[in-house]
A = this chain, B = another copy of it.
Amino acid sequence: MMKVQRKSSLSARARHSAAAVCALALLGSANIARASDPLPSDPELEAVTLSAPKPSWVFVERGFVVPGNAIYDTDTGKMLGMVEASTLSDLSIDPAGKAYYVSESIWTKGWRGTRQDMITVYDSATLKLKNEIAIPGRILIGGRKFNFVLADEGKTAYVYNLDPASSVNVVDLVKGKFVKKIELAGCASLMPVTGVGFSALCSDGSLATVKVAAAKPEITRSAPFFSATNDPIFDNFGYDGAKQQAVFLTYTGQVFTAKLGATPTISEPFSIQAAAGVSPADTKPLDVHWYPGARQGLAYHLGTGHAYVLMHTGEYWTHKEPGTEIWDLDVAAKKVVRRIPLEHPASAIAITQEANPKLVLSTERGEDGPSALLILDAKTGEQKFMLENSGGGVMRTLEP
């Protein structure tokens, strides 16, 4: 740990700059010595190393055909590196900052051969492979934030599986060992619950809570509070591990907050459209309203309790449509405090958990291609960077 921390105290950018300064200095002295001297040979350099993950970083799943999680620093707009990953894998960030975990499925011969499911562990400083933890299986879907989640301060991982029975694999990350499989019929999207295990959303409209430690895991379900087929909750919702709270958003724009625990409590919903002073949406196809949507349509800032939601106009059942506006919702106040129009529609939104947060958007079309990364100041909506050819799928940021 100490070693990693020391390495990480000098960030990649700083090293890079230091090297550049050094090279310039060499060049400078060479020029002083004799103006006509040729450029010196480059020194042999080790690969760049990184600091521990920072709140200003965003991890972008690059997509289905070019996998991997590209790391960008929202302070500089630069790509810092990439956490290697297979297609349809999921990333989690070690809260201690020492490792990145990738839950993935790899066949021994590309598209054929023997399937190997594992959690692959990378050192956060070198991004080198540290370990592979075999697991019995996992869902192949990608683009979801809650299929691979860490609990117990990063000591435990829950990996969702669908084969096509649904279950959760419990993994001890300290020992690097699969622990057990918990059947979880009809539920998905895992929220760690401190001292209990995890909760999940279910097809009967309830929230299931699973006590993991019990010899035979106990599953309890809340009363149904939403319709999984008529007005579903987006499975990329907002989750605050520290406060043990989740913010759920439905296709029509109903917002629920859930206080997690052994017996969770779920609030009455309110309409995000009503919170913005416009007409609440419904499920009738022929009506046109503002609707939430996109693949990752909600970014939740834990410090302020604001949810930033991608919204578009249209009819019902357009829940994958990219957003043309960001609505900044103060969840506790039930008030949309700002609407940020977007020049290019966005299919995913994330937020850095900084005191002055930045929004990161995967937009549908930049100047140069179909997918750019847009970095905005969350408070002002001001554009800080537009990174061409850098967009992708789900984006993750470091949480406190």
Interface residues of A (CB under 8 A from B): 65-66, 84, 86, 106, 108-113, 116, 129
Contact = CB atoms under 8 A, between A and B. Distances in A.
A384 B383 CA distance: 47
Contacts of A66: 65
A361 to B, nearest CB: 23
A66 B66 CA distance: 9
Contacts of A84: 111
Chain A: interface secondary structure? strand
Nearest to A370: B369
A178 to B, nearest CB: 18
A120 to B, nearest CB: 9
B109 A109 contact: no
Given A65-B65, A65-B66, A66-B65, A116 B109 contact: yes
Nearest to A369: B370
Given A65-B65, A65-B66, A106 B109 contact: yes
Contact of A112 (B65, B109, B111, B129): B129
Given A65-B65, A65-B66, A66-B65, A106 B116 contact: no
Given A86-B110, A108-B109, A109-B116, 9 more contacts: A65-B65, A65-B66, A84-B111, A106-B109, A106-B110, A108-B108, A108-B113, A110-B110, A112-B129
Contacts of A86: 110
Contacts of A65: 65-66
7 contacts: A65-B65, A65-B66, A86-B110, A106-B109, A109-B116, A110-B110, A112-B129
Contacts of A116: 109
A206 B112 CA distance: 42
A126 B116 CA distance: 27
Interface centre among A84, A109, A111 (most CB of B within 10 A): A109
A111 to B, nearest CB: 6
Contacts of A112: 129
A180 to B, nearest CB: 25
Nearest to A132: B109
A84 B116 CA distance: 21
Contacts of A129: 112
A221 to B, nearest CB: 36
Contacts of A111: 84
A121 to B, nearest CB: 13
Q: Most chain-B CB neighbours within 10 Å: which of A65, A108, A113, A129?
A: A108
Contacts of A110: 86, 106, 110
A131 to B, nearest CB: 13
Nearest to A111: B84
A106 B114 CA distance: 13
A65 B110 CA distance: 13
A129 B66 CA distance: 25
A116 B110 CA distance: 11
A116 B129 CA distance: 21
A66 B86 CA distance: 14
A329 B351 CA distance: 60
